[in-house]
Chain A
């Protein structure tokens, strides 16, 4: 089953997407991230996260589905993830606009992006999701293609060893 993260990764890097989907999910090297996760786990105080099949929403308002990202490093991937949420909700009869908030603004001129999907957009998305599902059935992940973001990717060592 597809998830928001899988769709995000597919847009970012197909190899990353395949590895993640097949649970070769490498640890984040950052100690801060790790400690944060442990605390969260131990406290078990789930924040207002809403989790449905394949989607975990940061916020749902009367008008928007809000997705919050730390930075705008890969906006296209973040957008694809939000689109996915909108499509899943649409199928459940919940229609919302998307709102992407980037806490750090490095590449783009604005930090809040709004997304409105037309029926046609939704059809296009669904065709793409079918393609992703087909892609994930492949026996092998696609070979790594080195790009600038690889250096920061958790898979870097695995990809280029």
Chain B
């Protein structure tokens, strides 16, 4: 465990094709080779043409490709067909949805609350006492509320409240130009919304790739409606990582002035979208965080945050197959 990034990002326009069992990229200023070795994921952020022959290679190599449009909008994922599949597990996963949906979804909400607490507690400890009420609520009330609900709708309402209050709290520790008035998703209408949307989408695609390397069926989800998207389970499993991976990256970029409104957002679009430079800076910071390692408390091995996403997939399999309680990644417990 603990190897560096296996993700390649393509920001320029060009052609992707197969050459001598490796991936070649032809763009204006020359040809580049992307080795199959140590490549498990590609991100395309520009106009790319590619051939069936290349897709064949990508499929054999199990390389997942995510495509984005001009306005950072996620277009879709090339999902190699040769994935791991287990008939037994798929049936068990559907059964778990029937019999245990509320409990699994509830654990996800509790996980969000715990990781949000972890992130905000840092600022509280550094003198932001305004956060106390929200922190107390996260610590004491959420778990009790979750245990008292009888259906998914009520759970989703709790989740909505956690995010709303979390985003509201940004004004306590972020500069004013990044303060949040109201969360607007499509299209984002200010810099902070743009960062959150972009970050959440990146995390969602990262999760798709991690789940690809497990036997889980991506359409059977628990918190979100199954098949709400083709990869609903990725929506589920990415939730608890949002505060610690996406938001921490944002706070780091904004508070350390790595990302600034004038320089890194598109002026023409009223600063509601990152420009190319901004995208690169954010992705670099995000990748760095994903590949950071910590000592995993159960496995007693070093593990990166990206691998922690896959491990949550394993936990879910273990719950589905062997009945072990599913407790998603918790930043404080490091497991």
Contact = CB atoms under 8 A, between A and B. Distances in A.
Interface string B83-99: 01111110000000000
Contacts of B213: 27
Given A38-B36, A42-B21, A158-B317, A140 B299 contact: no
Interface in B298-335: 298-299, 311, 314-315, 317-318, 321-323
A46 interface: no
Interface of A: 22-27, 29, 31-32, 34-35, 38-39, 41-42, 140-141, 156-158, 160-161
B299 to A, nearest CB: 6
Contacts of B315: 161
Interface of B: 1, 21, 36-38, 57, 60-62, 84-89, 213, 215, 298-299, 311, 314-315, 317-318, 321-323
Given A31-B37, A161-B318, 8 more contacts: A23-B84, A27-B84, A31-B38, A34-B37, A35-B36, A35-B37, A42-B21, A161-B299
B311 A161 contact: yes
24 contacts: A22-B86, A22-B88, A22-B89, A23-B87, A23-B88, A23-B89, A23-B215, A24-B86, A24-B88, A26-B84, A34-B62, A35-B37, A38-B36, A38-B60, A42-B60, A140-B322, A140-B323, A156-B299, A157-B299, A157-B311, A161-B299, A161-B311, A161-B315, A161-B318
B310 to A, nearest CB: 8
Contacts of B88: 22-24
A5 B203 CA distance: 37
Contacts of B84: 23, 25-27
Contacts of B85: 23
Contact of B318 (A32, A156, A158): A158
